[in-house]
């Protein structure tokens, strides 16, 4: 499990949650994934593979972990990190290497970019927090160039034989960690409930295919509670 990026298109109350967690976002990510979060973000950046001289958009950039990794890995690529939560962006802008990224305040449901603007799109913990999943993915399809790749890091509901154990852990441990580490139980109660209510990787893949993506694949991580999913615009 992990904490998440700012919600796009959700109610002001939910948006407020993500403004509030910005100060301890990175610390909670580390604790809740037992240190795996940074590795997953590196994998997202690697799978995006934008061409030299191209443009990469990191949506729901949060504190900029994926965007900064992409900027380090691809110095010849123009990297834009966009998020709906101003407090998240303020944290990202003061990190080492932040000057290599263009930071944008933007709503993923209404991206302020021209059609076919980017060679690759990355995102972390965005989709579970939007009102219109289909519309948000269509926006990404719109601003992505033909042949460009989208790479998604997201939580997913547990499944399989260990589902009851993982469900119990999410209901019990996640809010408790929020209370102990961040003094914020309510925000992490939202985290676990939104994860368990979200689509499966197969359902997200089916939606991507209907929108016009192909070469779709995914790998689950951390007892099936996180997934890295990728697709290419036809």
Binding site feature residues:
63, 83, 107-108
Cβ-based neighbours of 95, under 8 Å, separated by 6 or more: 63, 64, 68
In angstroms, the CA 188 to CA 129 distance is 13
In angstroms, the CA 119 to CA 98 distance is 21
SS3 assignment, position 19? helix
Phi and psi at 59, nearest 5°, equal -85, 150
Q: Please give the annotated binding residues for S-adenosyl-L-methionine, written as ranges.
A: 63, 83, 107-108
Cβ-based neighbours of 24, under 8 Å, separated by 6 or more: 181, 182, 184
CA nearest neighbour of 171 among 156, 155, 190: 190
């Amino acid at each position: 499990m992990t904490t998440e990026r700012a919600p796009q298109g959700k109610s002001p109350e939910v948006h407020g949650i993500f403004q509030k967690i910005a100060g301890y976002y990175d610390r909670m990510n580390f604790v809740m994934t037992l240190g795996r979060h940074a590795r997953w973000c590196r994998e997202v950046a690697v799978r995006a593979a934008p061409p030299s001289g191209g443009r990469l958009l990191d949506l729901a950039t949060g504190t900029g972990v994926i965007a900064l990794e992409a900027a380090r890995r691809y110095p010849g690529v123009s990297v834009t990190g966009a998020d709906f939560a101003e407090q998240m962006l303020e944290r990202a802008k003061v990190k080492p290497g932040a000057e290599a990224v263009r930071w944008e305040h933007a709503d993923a449901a209404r991206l302020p970019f021209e059609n076919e603007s980017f060679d690759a799109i990355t995102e972390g913990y965005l989709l579970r927090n939007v009102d219109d999943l289909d519309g948000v993915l269509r926006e990404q399809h719109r601003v992505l160039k033909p042949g460009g790749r989208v790479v998604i890091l997201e939580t997913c509901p547990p499944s399989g034989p260990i589902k009851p154990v993982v469900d119990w852990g999410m209901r019990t441990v996640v809010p408790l960690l929020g209370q102990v580490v961040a003094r914020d139980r309510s925000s992490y109660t939202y985290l676990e409930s939104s994860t368990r209510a979200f689509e499966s990787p197969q359902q997200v893949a089916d939606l991507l295919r209907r929108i016009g993506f192909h070469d779709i694949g995914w790998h689950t991580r951390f007892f099936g509670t996180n997934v890295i999913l990728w697709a290419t615009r036809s």
